[in-house]
Structure 1
Amino acid sequence: MTVTSDTRKPYGGNTRSLVLAFDVGTTFSGVSYAILEPNEIPKIHGVTRYPGQEHVAGSYKIPTIMFYDQDGNMKVAGAEADSNAIIDLAEDEGWTKAELFKLRLRPQSMKLKMNGMRLPSLPKGKSAVEVFGEFLGYLFRCTRSFIIDTHAGGSALWRAVEDDLQFVLSHPNGWEGAQQTKMRRAAVHGGLIPDTDAGKARIRFVTEGEASLHACVLNGLAKEMLTGYSGNGFLVADAGGGTLDISSYAVRGTAPLVMEEIAPPDCVFAGSVFVSRRARAFFEDKLRSSKYGTSDSLEHITKRFDETTKRLFRDKKEPQYVQFGSPLDKDLAAGIRQGQLKLTGAEVAELFEPSIEAAINSITHQVETTGGFVKSVWLVGGFAASPWLFGQLQERLAPLGVTVSRPDNQTSKAVADGAIGFYCDHHVSARMSKFMYGVEFLREYNPDDPDHVARQDRMCELPSGPKLLADAFDCILARGVKVKESSVFTRKYCTEVTSLTTLSVFEVEIWCYRGGTSTPMWINRQAEDFTTLCIVQADLSPLSDSAQSKPGRNGKTYWTIVFSVEIHFGLTEFKARIKWVDSVSPFVQ
């Protein structure tokens, strides 16, 4: 089987279409796209020409940075924003640099360790969603220009598809429904889609882990395993600028290629930017008494470390150098000679260590979760190019019987390419639920249970008479459950109302519990383990005509309403809905 061709599926649509995949990374971003022709296997292209980067042939990535003027207008972005001329102009004009803004979209449950340093401020008057959207808009405009200028008949092609463009936005494994909602709002703000239901439906989401899996299949990294299929599992580690996204899979079929997720995916803040942050703090301490310890000098030295030393480092026994100045720059006490800051290999290795340790812990946990089923790791992403990271993962995972491989070409654009592969090929047929999902219900009060007695202040009485306690948790979907795309998880509930007018604004809160595999009895609204995933609203007023009134306690009339809560979790986007039956016709909302 030839993985790079035989696993590709012809496009099944009836008309020509265009799908664009945006990989907005913490530090670098890129775009891939495919022109979809009916019954033809899509070919994936990358945008390789951006303003300010025309001289770099075949460059798929640009820095995720922008400059804003004092009025909050975006002035320049990407590669242009990284030029010395723009940096000087920004300083003269008082512009604000926007960077690392993707990290501001993270879920509150994901704690960010910045080594005592804070995220850069947002431009005045701008939210993280607006800044993210304006960068999306910049990428979109660059992509439109590239396609029009590069393809024969590019202008006609764009005019034919621009009103129905399809988009795939990738995000870290740890992002959830709230982050996807913010990204949709950003896409509207950036001008990618109109603010309508039809426009929003043109956005698809994929985790960076799953996108990276599809990229591995596309570039042939998976070929050896799939052709000599042994039945073992494998793990995709996407090491990017901000996050390390870990996803474990098993092959369930090769004709066609079908894979399943076999462990809840993981996401940790262990990307290359944190090596740089630790380096910045280290240089500040090391050069505290030196004339090179000024803020501007430290920023320059850290940037040179990023561009050279960090990328090339491979041996902790060898001295390392950060070339940042001219031969006249010298401070022997600080280890600076001929414009070079000398470091020991052990010092540089220590800057990498927390990220490597986090990666090892996450991968080891996945191997243990699958009972040792995972035997190989595919390392992709921009940080994967680090010889030290790659070598350390190989060395430390070898005792577990786990091998580590990485593609030889363009690991940095794996997510963007893989997002197109996800849209077109859809190789993953089942995923694992990461957390526990459920709703609040009323539990019957037991006066002999001390826990119930302690919660008497939360007791209520239904019109029909029973005494019940609020804040009870009912699990609809447990953690670590294999969920196929067609899977629907449903629980039936009933409620009693004393006024049918309340049915028009009926809503159910969906809760997410992150605390473990044991189902909690109660919802702790103050605990970090519990968060509201979404609120499902429905108009149940059609039930007014068929609901039967009943006499209740103290002569009050009430009506019993029966409904179901459905959770769809088989795709990369969570969906929930309320379902009910009016006479013989089912309704969903």
Structure 2
Amino acid sequence: MRHYYTNEPYKGAEAIIVAMDIGTTQTAVSLAHFFPGIKTQIRMVTLWPKGKHDNVMKIPSLVSYQKGKVKACGAEAVRDLEEQPQNVACWFKLHLHPAAMATPNSQRFEIPPLPIGVTIERVYADFMRYLLKNTQQFFEATVHNGKEIWGRVRDTIVIVLATPNGWELREQSTLRKAAIKASLVTEGNADQLLQFVTEAEASVHYALANQSDEWLKEDTKFAVVDCGGSTIDTTIYQCTSIDPLRLNEACPSECIQAGGIFVDREIEKMLKERLLGSSFDDPEIIRDTVKFFEDEVKPYFDGIMAEFNFKIGSVTDNDPSREINKGQIAVCGEDLKRAFDAVIDRIIESCFEPLTSKVKYVLLVGGFAESPYVRRVLQNIMDPKGIQTIVAGDYSMKAAAGGAMIGRTKQLVIARAVKATFGGCVRQNYDKKLHSGRKNAAQPYPDGKMRVDGAFHVWVKKGAILLGTLAHKLSYHVAWDAVSTSRSELVNRLGTTEVEVFAWEGDDCPIWCKDERGVVLNGMRHICTLNANLSALAGGLQIKDGPRGTKFYRVDYDVCIYFGGTQLHAKLQWKEKGLFCEGPVTVIPSVA
């Protein structure tokens, strides 16, 4: 990746931003030092322990453990993976993938287990700590007065994490806890210093910064297909301005569980079937042979050669019945094609229809898209449809790591599409037309109105295009009967006030999120629960007059929603007689 510069000298306060792309098999880190009056330079971290040579831009995503403690990370953990794989967290990113990303084939995919007693949060924390430590050493070794500068701004360093399109609150919450545990940020400043960007959006920034953009005109629609190690992310953009360059998401992004590691597993399955019952039917031998394929064949396979030789065992090993000669096993090109096609078919299935109807160009990025065979197959499919494929990649680096930093500084994407319909589970006024199916469930509320539980109140609809930062306030209230509710009970109830947040993936807007028993309906996904301890308000509440002489307590509150960047933030605000209390900020990933 060539150095990327902003157009104007920086005018803000001094700062350092570190962007991490922790992939399934490979990880990369970029950083930038912002100093007043100087044009900001984005650089990849290229000094890592035990690298084969300097200037390596990505390292293996590995963490090895010994007796419950971290032993090694990155390239230093490769030998442990070969000798004691049960002690190494390998492909650990797969443990965070939500079920919604899985395809029928990937659901049968066996994820390597984590070392005994090690959680996924612990692995990410240990690996993040390792990444930041080496990033600091790289900065101090390559920047004049680097040690002094790092020490000066260490407590305000912004960490940007690139994540798949399909990762939402659960996944971001795990990464947030890991970042705090790793001391990248603190509990108090995580909301300001820890940021997320989707891998697809990071990749579009990288692609546009490193490719000729003569094809890009105003109103042009194009797609970015990010083919990673374990996910395929597809996002469609529309160019709204050339000078300055501005992009809008044209529709909700897609993300499926597929990618380069699934080809490795197809090769592993093929080898197991072929070597069954032989002296080579050994997990370690097969693992080493798959590793040879991954390093020496997969990046360069073009589908043209009729046969390949994989290293297997030693030079003295022979088995003519299985085409093994002098430690090499012959594998025909058609078998390799089938392994690749099993994954390419999933890519086509997930993105072919929206691409062919909406775009003129497709930018291919990500490590799996570096495969000449993958490029050729996708080009052969897109060309007859009049879609031009543009390859934007560099096998020596990870596009998302550099793109995450470019996105943080350039901010080309100014509008994003909501991926699902989000709303709250509420007790709604009974409407005989709308709620006729639950007439018997309607009950009088302390404020005198007939209400039904389990209703879905829409906050933002799927597919809505949000421009820039949007703030929206929704007014709600809760009430309790003043006669049957004691002050102590009121304090207890205010201490556990909450609003459940749900997402609906369909294109319609459902009426309900729960059935009459309070069970969440199929297809309705619980995102989080906004809550706060508001017991301090109890002393200021006044008894209000209800219908027919009833008395009740009432608390009015707002759910405040803020759309900005790649996340939706929501918080609760209560107001009563001049008293004010705000619930904790909760991140709801609604836009990618």
TM-score, normalized by length of structure 1? 0.89
Cα-to-partner distance string for 1:319-373 (whole Å, 9 max, x where unaligned): 23323344432222222223222222221111112321222223224326xxx33
- The 8 Å contact of residues 148 and 158 in structure 1, kept in 2 or not, is answered as yes
Cα separation, partners in 2 of 1:416 and 1:528, compared to 1, 3 Å: farther
Shift of 1:562: 3.5
- The 8 Å contact of residues 477 and 554 in structure 2, kept in 1 or not, is answered as yes
Q: Which residues in structure 2 correspond to 1:66-465 (within 5 Å)? A: 66-69=63-66, 71-83=67-79, 86=80, 90-91=83-84, 96-111=87-102, 113-114=105-106, 116-194=108-186, 196-219=187-210, 221=211, 223-226=213-216, 229=217, 231-315=219-303, 318-367=306-355, 372-407=357-392, 409-410=394-395, 412-445=397-430, 452-453=437-438, 456=440, 458-465=441-448
- The 8 Å contact of residues 480 and 552 in structure 2, kept in 1 or not, is answered as yes
CA distance in 1, matches of 2:222, 2:579: 46
Shift of 1:200: 4.5
Cα separation, partners in 2 of 1:249 and 1:122, compared to 1, 3 Å: same
CA distance in 1, matches of 2:433, 2:379: 57
CA distance in 1, matches of 2:396, 2:221: 21
Cα separation, partners in 2 of 1:259 and 1:293, compared to 1, 3 Å: same
Q: Which residues in structure 2 correspond to 1:474-553 (within 5 Å)? A: 474-498=457-481, 499=485, 501=491, 502-514=493-505, 516-524=506-514, 525-527=519-521, 529-538=523-532, 542=537, 545=540, 549-551=544-546
2:54 is aligned to: 57
After TM superposition, the structure 1 stretch with the greater mean CA deviation from structure 2, 431-440 or 56-65, is 56-65
- The 8 Å contact of residues 464 and 552 in structure 1, kept in 2 or not, is answered as yes
CA distance in 2, matches of 1:213, 1:448: 47
CA distance in 2, matches of 1:583, 1:248: 48
Q: Residue type of the partner of 1:76?
A: A
CA distance in 1, matches of 2:296, 2:176: 36
Q: Residue type of the partner of 1:238?
A: D
- The 8 Å contact of residues 381 and 412 in structure 1, kept in 2 or not, is answered as no
Q: Residue type of the partner of 1:551?
A: G
Shift of 1:280: 1.0
Q: Residue type of the partner of 1:520?
A: P
- The 8 Å contact of residues 9 and 424 in structure 1, kept in 2 or not, is answered as no
What SS does structure 2 have at the residue aligned with 1:574?
strand
- The 8 Å contact of residues 187 and 193 in structure 1, kept in 2 or not, is answered as yes
Cα-to-partner distance string for 1:102-133 (whole Å, 9 max, x where unaligned): 11122243337557452122122221011111
- The 8 Å contact of residues 309 and 321 in structure 1, kept in 2 or not, is answered as no
- The 8 Å contact of residues 5 and 40 in structure 2, kept in 1 or not, is answered as no
**Are 1:36 and 2:58 matched, yes or no?**
no
TM-score, normalized by length of structure 2? 0.89
Q: Residue type of the partner of 1:575?
A: H
Q: Residue type of the partner of 1:140?
A: L
Q: Percent identity?
A: 28
Q: Residue type of the partner of 1:185?
A: K
Q: Residue type of the partner of 1:28?
A: Q
Cα separation, partners in 2 of 1:312 and 1:409, compared to 1, 3 Å: closer
What SS does structure 2 have at the residue aligned with 1:224?
coil
Aligned positions, number: 568
CA distance in 2, matches of 1:363, 1:248: 10
CA distance in 2, matches of 1:485, 1:270: 31
Shift of 1:218: 2.1
Q: Residue type of the partner of 2:553?
A: W
Shift of 1:174: 0.5
1:20 is aligned to: 18
Cα separation, partners in 2 of 1:316 and 1:189, compared to 1, 3 Å: same
CA distance in 1, matches of 2:156, 2:351: 40
**Are 1:566 and 2:560 matched, yes or no?**
yes
Q: Residue type of the partner of 1:231?
A: D
Cα separation, partners in 2 of 1:392 and 1:344, compared to 1, 3 Å: same
- The 8 Å contact of residues 439 and 510 in structure 1, kept in 2 or not, is answered as yes
Q: Residue type of the partner of 2:29?
A: V
Shift of 1:50: 0.8
After TM superposition, the structure 1 stretch with the greater mean CA deviation from structure 2, 203-212 or 249-258, is 249-258
Shift of 1:443: 4.0
CA distance in 2, matches of 1:307, 1:26: 15
CA distance in 2, matches of 1:115, 1:327: 38
- The 8 Å contact of residues 370 and 393 in structure 2, kept in 1 or not, is answered as no
What SS does structure 1 have at the residue aligned with 2:170?
helix
Cα-to-partner distance string for 1:15-67 (whole Å, 9 max, x where unaligned): x21111111111100111011112433111111111110x3232101100121
Gaps (5+ residues) in structure 1? none
